[in-house]
Structure formats: structure tokens, C-alpha cells
Amino acid sequence: MTEAYSTALQTIIDEFKNISPEITNTFIFKKNGEIVANNETTTENQIKKLIAAFNSIADQAETIGGIENLTIQGANSQLNITSMNNRHLATVSSRAADQKIVKTLTRVLVPTVVKLVDQIAPELSENELPQTTKLEDKPFEEIMLPVEEPSHNESIPDASASFSSEPLLPEPPVNQFMIEKIGGLLVSADTVRVDSEVIAKWNDLYGDKQITQVHIETLEGKTTTCKFKPIKEKNCNAKGIIQIPEKILQALQTSKGKLVMVKPVIT
Amino acid sequence: MLKPKTSTNEVETVFTNAVAVISVDEENSAFASLSASLAEIRKLKGVIGYILRGNTSAIIDLAAPDKIIEYAFLSSQMHDSSQEITKQFNLGETESILVEGKNVKVLCMSIGENKISVFMEKSATHAWIIKRILL
């Protein structure tokens, strides 16, 4: 008996009290003593004793074709056992219970559900061995993972989101520059100056995206991010040059003439 | 297990057409009354037969003599096991026990010291039989 199957039956019998509060005990058992489902109001000892008594009657009842249904009417309550595919549904209800409802639940509804489940998914009830083996082979998380990540439901919105609001952007190009120290009263201490042709290429590449910062990395691995401006000089000497103020040079622990890797920061 | 109580002074066994009737001591008036009622019930359509057991007497009237022992065992077991179930689930004093098989159903009742088992076809109305016995 798989856990899924027991859970399904448990869910059904848990509803019994909602439908008919006069039903005090409900449980499903097998002749071998296995308790398939129980609504918690019945102790294991009670069930064991009932199974023993039931089996004693069932052994003698072969002469009438086995037990399909057993009813004991007491002065206070009544007990009913309905057999269904090697399982037996036991209910105890007060005499005040609506017999039509009790009979509908115990002799029609549950046996029909059990029969249907057995027909639709026989592997749930009887051919459980392969499933059990699978469950043991794989960790619980591995089985649950596909359930938590349905493939088509989540991937489609993700894809559309990335194409509509976040268009795919090319990886920022990395340019190698030689350091040139820059200083003076009009020079901002937190801004580097980069070859204007390179900046133009960046603007072409990223269209409307405004690029305000660059990421600088030395060959030693020191990095910083700072604002940038184009180099004012329009001569050939500006090519491959990055002008860096003293403060940033100190932060990068580098100096004039050394090489740095520069790439635009795309936000 | 069936433990028929027998009286040492009066034992009468009659075999009629496919019907075995064992009667032992009919001094008990309730027993006599029940046996009369059961004799009437026995005539009903669908009723296969009955077993009536008192303290010192027993009547078995079954249409299938070859099933007498099996039916007697079943009847006895129903009475015994139902007591355990009734006690476990606090059902109160047992009024009736009904076991439905594939083709036959068995109704058991205890009236005082007397134990009744009525065997019938599944189509028979057992509720009417209960009322008739309790009259």
C-alpha cells in the first residue's frame, strides 16, 4: 500500500465527520492487520481487536461467499464493515445518524472510489514495489524538484520578460588601455578619461543605454568602478590611453605607463 | 464455536424433506414463543432457514442439510465475535448482527438467553424479520 494511496483514502474518511457528525469512528484495514487509514478517534488496540474478531467471522463466512458487509446494531451505536477489494471500511455511528447518508458513504461512495482508483491507477494500490524502489533510490528532493519547477508554466513568462522589458545585451567589451596620469585644478578626482572613439563604440553597441561608469582592473587584479569622460585631446596620441587621476591610481595601486582592462558598466 | 446445550432427559431429532430439525427440551416459554415466530418467518420467501439456541434447547431448520454444520459454526462465531466488537466500541447491548455474503445473508439476534440466526437470500428483507422477532 503506497503512501499516496493511503493519503487518498485518509482524505476521504476525514470528510466523513463533516458530512455526518454522528459517524464517530472510521478506518480502513486489511485482513492481515494493516491499517490503511484511520480517523484518529480509534486506537490501534481497538482496531487490532476488531480485525481479529472480523477475521474469525470471515473464516466461517466462506460458506456464504465471504463477507461483503457486516453490521452490528447496538443499543447506542452501530458498527458497519464494508469489504472492498481486499480492504475493509469500518465505521461506527450513533443510532441517530441518518442511515441513508451512512449507507451512501460506506456502501456506495467509498467502495466506488476505491474501485475507480484501483482501475485507473492499479500501481498505486497493488503494484507498488517498483515505485517504492524508485523512491528509495532517489533522495526526496530529487523527486520533488520537477514538481516545483514546471517546465512550460514558468519558462514562458521568464522568456517573454527578458525579451520585452530586458532585451538581451551583449557582454561589455573589454578594452586594454595604458595609464596616463592626469591632474590639475579642473580635473575631477573621481573621474577617468577614456578614448572618445572607444566611448562612441560603446554607445553604438548599447544604443539608448546610458553608460556613466567604467570598471577598471589592473593586471594584478585590483579593481575599481568610477565615472568617466572622453579625453579632450583629439589627436592620435589619445588612442589606447586612459587618463587616471592620482586618487584612483592610489586605489588601484598602479602608476603611469601600466596596462589596465576597462569595460563599461551597463545598468 | 458452536456449543449446543443439550438436555439429558428430552431429546428429539426429526428429519423431514431436506430439513433437519433438532429440538431439545422446550420448557422455556420464551424459547417456545421464538420457535413459533421463527417457524412463521421460515415460510417467508427468500428465507433459507434458521437456528435457535436456548440455554438447554436448540432448533435447526435449514433447507440445505449439507450446510448445517458450516452454518452453525458461522452463527456461533457471529454471536461470539460481535460481543468483543460491541465491547470494544461501546455499542451498547447488541440488538442485531447482519453478515452479508455473496449470495446469502445471516441475521443474528439475542433475545434473553436465546440466540437466533436466520439465513436468507440477499434479496430478503431482514428489517422486517427483526421487527417480527421483536414483536
A103 with A212, same domain: the answer is: no
- Find the chain A residues whose C-beta atoms sit closer than 8 A to any C-beta of B: 25, 46, 49-50, 52-54, 56-57, 59-61, 63-79, 92
Convert the pLDDT of each residue in A73-94 to its tens digit: 999 899 999 998 889 999 999 9
Integer CA distances (angstroms), A90 to A124, A231, A239, in order: 21, 89, 90
CA–CA gap between residue A93 and residue A26 (Å, rounded): 9
Predicted confidence band of residue B120 (pLDDT cuts 50, 70, 90) = very high
Superfamily of domain B12-134: Dynein light chain 2a, cytoplasmic (3.30.450.30)
- pLDDT the model gives residue A256: 87
Task: Provide, as residue numbers in chain A, all residues whose Cβ is less than 8 Å from the Cβ of B74.
Answer: 57, 60-61, 63-64
Look at B70 and A60 and tell me if their CB atoms are within 8 Å.
yes
CA–CA gap between residue A261 and residue A242 (Å, rounded): 10
Would you tell me the crossing angle of helices A110-120 and A3-14 to the nearest 10 degrees? 160
A135 with A179, same domain: the answer is: no
Tell whether the model's pLDDT for residue A71 goes beyond 90.
yes
Show me where the domains of chain B are located: 12-134
Tell whether the model's pLDDT for residue A167 goes beyond 70.
no
Tell whether the model's pLDDT for residue A108 goes beyond 60.
yes
- pLDDT the model gives residue A56: 94
Q: Which of B3, B5, B49 is nearest to B26 (CA)?
A: B5
Look at B91 and A74 and tell me if their CB atoms are within 8 Å.
yes
**Residue A257, in any domain of the structure:** yes
Convert the pLDDT of each residue in A41-53 to its tens digit: 889 999 999 999 9
- A and B: number of Cβ contacts within 8 A: 109
- Higher-scoring residue by pLDDT: B13, A182: A182
A125 with A12, same domain: the answer is: yes
CA–CA gap between residue A201 and residue A204 (Å, rounded): 5
**Residue A211, in any domain of the structure:** yes
- pLDDT the model gives residue A40: 80
A219 with A132, same domain: the answer is: no
Tell whether the model's pLDDT for residue A102 goes beyond 90.
no
State the cell numbers at A99: 442511515
Would you tell me the crossing angle of helices A44-60 and B68-88 to the nearest 10 degrees? 170
**Residue A168, in any domain of the structure:** no
Convert the pLDDT of each residue in A172-220 to its tens digit: 888 888 898 888 877 888 899 988 888 888 888 887 778 889 999 988 8
CA–CA gap between residue B58 and residue B54 (Å, rounded): 6
Percent of chain A at pLDDT > 90 equals 26
Tell whether the model's pLDDT for residue A124 goes beyond 70.
no
Look at B74 and A76 and tell me if their CB atoms are within 8 Å.
no
**Residue A241, in any domain of the structure:** yes
Look at A56 and B77 and tell me if their CB atoms are within 8 Å.
yes
**Domain tally for chain A?**
2
ipTM greater than 0.85, yes or no?
A: no
- pLDDT the model gives residue A2: 65
CA–CA gap between residue B90 and residue A265 (Å, rounded): 79
Residue with cell 582592462: A261
Nearest to A74 among B73, B95, B106 (CB): B95
**Residue A221, in any domain of the structure:** yes
State the cell numbers at A44: 490501534
- Find the chain B residues whose C-beta atoms sit closer than 8 A to any C-beta of A: 67, 70-71, 73-74, 77-78, 80-82, 84-86, 88-106, 119
DSSP B59-110: EEEES-GGGHHHHHHHHHHHHHHHHHHHHHTT--SEEEEEEE-SSEEEEEEE
Convert the pLDDT of each residue in B45-77 to its tens digit: 899 999 999 888 899 999 888 889 999 999 999
Predicted confidence band of residue A161 (pLDDT cuts 50, 70, 90) = very low
CA–CA gap between residue A47 and residue A70 (Å, rounded): 15
Task: Kindly report the CATH number assigned to the domain that includes residue A98.
Answer: 3.30.450.30
Beta bridge partners of B107: B98, B118
Tell whether the model's pLDDT for residue A138 goes beyond 60.
no
Domain carrying residue A104: 3-143
Task: Kindly report the CATH number assigned to the domain that includes residue A253.
Answer: 2.40.40.20
**Residue A199, in any domain of the structure:** yes
- Higher-scoring residue by pLDDT: B28, A84: A84
- Long-range contacts of residues A35-39, Cβ cutoff 8 Å, at least 24 apart: A36/A1, A36/A5, A36/A6, A36/A9, A36/A87, A37/A6, A37/A9, A37/A10, A37/A12, A37/A13, A38/A10, A38/A13, A39/A13, A39/A14
CA–CA gap between residue B13 and residue B16 (Å, rounded): 10
CA–CA gap between residue A140 and residue A135 (Å, rounded): 7
**Residue A219, in any domain of the structure:** yes
Is the alpha carbon torsion for A37, A40, A41, A43 positive or negative?
positive
- pLDDT the model gives residue B42: 93
For A71, which residue in chain B has the nearest alpha carbon? B98
pTM: 0.58
For B74, which residue in chain A has the nearest alpha carbon? A60
- pLDDT the model gives residue B40: 92
CA–CA gap between residue B4 and residue A157 (Å, rounded): 80
Boundary residue ending a domain (A119, A143, A167): A143
DSSP A145-167: HHHHS-HHHHHHHHHHHHHHTS-
